[in-house]
A = this chain, B = another copy of it.
């Protein structure tokens, strides 16, 4: 029995594929700190469950394909606080940010088209692109250089007749980089000059540190009909299990096209939309506190990483990830070894090998993505495990 080429070529999620190894370690009694996945330990605001518990319809019926009107209204109000104006027929509710990106790709690309993606990038962009039959053309950026984008001319040189869109996250997962105004200007110019869409994944909008300014690609008036904003409540409100995302676009005709995909899958779960409606109304203070907490965590991880011999990393200014280059030949082997052969007092860590976050073969093999989503104490312990583990692993490998 054969499978499709597209699925055969699809990589396993580097964030999730080593889960069985971690599960085995846990079975053997080890405690595993999960720094591999962006699953925050922050409490979900109680507004979510409280509103769901009030649901008393006798029939749990289909919702609207475009999403619950009150949830769309909630998003509109939220965006207004960022000076982003959307109307109700410019927003579609999706099954998480994942579906938002997949549907956006399906709407603006055909098979064998190309998209430009700054690498390293959120690894599941690979999966969505494979599903859509689209070729990822990476715009390579490097840790040593703070993940700065190359020049406009260089990026322009990557555009072909088949290029249909630029897909990116800002603030960046896994880089933690926040695009500067100059970088954004270069990208929006390229989009305009080459008739491209920008699919802008802004799920980490609030997670910006060190006084860096947040600016949405959706705020550029001159390309507003070619910016597809994708979003999710998962990280912002620590509600990853709700799977509520969204597409917003000033191009109403494009929204109408994507609505056909939404109609195909009928609707997003009703209850989760009810909970999300209330979550989005949670006060700005809640988010300020969360971001303050993440800044502390970022500082712990970054400061510890700097002090580990042979580790190279740039200070991330956004999101809650950092890419670290490790003094090992193969980061995946090391990550596995940490789970199978190493512990300190019965505790170890799980990291995400970074190779799967790159499209260029060979890049990221000695890198990992670290999610700083755990409390300070766990992060301190984790960084010590990494430090001691690295020393022991190198010693083993040079014997």
Binding site for B on A (CB under 8 A): 1-8, 10-13, 15-17, 37, 39-44, 48-49, 52-53, 55, 58-63, 65, 95-96, 98-99, 102, 106-111, 113, 124, 127-128, 131, 133, 164, 195, 197, 225-226, 238-243, 251, 253-254, 257-258, 260-261, 263-272
Contact = CB atoms under 8 A, between A and B. Distances in A.
A317 B291 CA distance: 58
B62 A241 contact: yes
B60 A254 contact: no
Contact of A226 (B1, B195, B266): B1
A254 B59 contact: no
A90 to B, nearest CB: 14
B59 A128 contact: no
A13 B44 contact: no
Nearest first, the 9 closest Cβ-Cβ pairs linking A and B are A127-B264, A241-B270, A13-B263, A98-B265, A60-B241, A111-B111, A44-B60, A62-B240, A243-B269
Nearest to A265: B98
A8 B240 contact: no
A265 B95 contact: yes
A59 B238 contact: yes
Contacts of A99: 265
A182 B261 CA distance: 36
15 contacts: A1-B197, A4-B107, A4-B108, A5-B110, A7-B261, A10-B257, A16-B65, A39-B61, A39-B62, A44-B58, A49-B55, A60-B241, A102-B265, A111-B133, A242-B271
Given A4-B108, A106-B131, A108-B3, A40 B59 contact: yes
A39 to B, nearest CB: 5
Contacts of A241: 60-63, 267, 269-271
Nearest to A243: B269
B106 A6 contact: yes
